């Protein structure tokens, strides 16, 4: 008999169940697994792709890029200071620390009414897979489309597929890159390539260690949409019309 986890990996919800989930917290629960509701509604209703406006996508990408670039600059400086004073490297993986920064962004910049989730499943799987894919972070906001965010240190075709699906479902599809390798352009998907993290030496990158203390995270001040969205940042924002390489 299949386990509950295996069953949940293949279950299809009803349109009514997805609609009820959308009216509450934006999370669809199937047995012991959680799914992105708007993604399921896109599939179950058969609605046409509805990507967000390009300028709106660029604005929210610039706000997130500004926040994460300040986090990266502060964190790299802290790691360098730790080395200079003889402290060993921390043990938190870089991707985990960066994910925590994205969750901080949801709380401190987008506001307390936003809900951020990790590893919500999407009704799309990598090529050749029967199980649903999972988004690194989904941020549900009361007045904006959801943000679907992938974080990668190298090119990942599965992330490209998930973000293209999120774009068609009406979300802000945001791809945070902090490593090496090029990626092909994806219409309607914004790539945020963080600068500076390559300054970690090869030992740190091999161990995937990066754990700046909370005092070195960006300040919790909220950014206004019109000003912060157009602030010049050291991170590279790639529109859908070009190919981006990691830093």
Phi, psi of 81, deg, nearest 5: -65, -40
- Of 146 and 143, the one with more pLDDT: 146
pLDDT computed for residue 3 by the predictor? 53
Each residue of 69-106: pLDDT tens digit?
Answer: 999 998 888 878 877 887 766 667 788 889 999 999 99
**Residue 150: strand pairing partners:** 175
Summarize pLDDT for 203-235 with one digit per residue, the tens: 444 444 445 444 444 443 333 343 443 343 455
3-state helix, strand, coil in the chain (%, to 5): 40, 20, 40
Residue 19 is encoded by which pair of tokens? Answer: 């609609």
> Nearest-CA neighbor of 188 among 81, 88, 56?
56
More confident residue, 25 or 99: 99
Query: What is the reported pLDDT for 237?
Result: 60
In this predicted structure, what is the pLDDT of residue 226?
Answer: 39
pLDDT computed for residue 54 by the predictor: 95
What local confidence, expressed as pLDDT, does residue 154 receive?
85
CB atoms within 10 A of CB 177: 28
State the pLDDT confidence band at 166, using cuts at 50, 70 and 90.
Answer: very high
Percent of the chain with pLDDT over 70: 71
Burial of 150 from C-beta contacts in 10 A (0-12 / 13-18 / 19+): buried
Around Cβ 135, how many Cβ atoms within 10 Å? 26
């Amino acid at each position: 008999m299949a386990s509950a986890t295996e069953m949940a990996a293949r279950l299809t919800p009803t349109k009514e169940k997805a609609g009820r989930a959308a009216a509450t917290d934006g999370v669809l629960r199937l047995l012991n697994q959680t799914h992105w509701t708007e993604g399921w509604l896109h599939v179950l209703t058969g609605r046409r792709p509805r990507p967000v406006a390009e300028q709106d996508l660029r604005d929210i990408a610039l706000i997130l890029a500004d926040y994460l670039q300040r986090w990266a600059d502060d964190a790299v400086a802290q790691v360098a200071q730790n080395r200079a004073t003889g402290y060993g490297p921390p043990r938190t993986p870089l991707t985990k620390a960066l994910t925590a920064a994205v969750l901080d962004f949801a709380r401190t910049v987008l506001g307390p009414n936003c809900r951020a989730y990790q590893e919500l499943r999407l009704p799309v799987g990598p090529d050749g897979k029967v199980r649903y894919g999972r988004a690194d972070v989904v941020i549900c906001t009361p007045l904006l489309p959801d943000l679907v965010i992938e974080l990668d240190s190298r090119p990942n075709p599965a992330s490209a597929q998930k973000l293209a699906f999120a774009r068609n479902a009406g979300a802000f599809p945001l791809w945070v890159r902090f490593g090496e390798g090029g990626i092909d352009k994806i219409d309607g998907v914004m790539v945020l390539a963080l600068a500076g993290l390559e300054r970690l030496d090869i030992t740190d990158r091999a161990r995937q260690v990066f754990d700046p203390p909370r005092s070195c995270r960006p300040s919790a001040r909220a950014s206004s949409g019109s000003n912060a969205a157009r602030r010049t940042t050291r991170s590279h924002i790639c529109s859908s019309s070009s190919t981006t390489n990691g830093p």
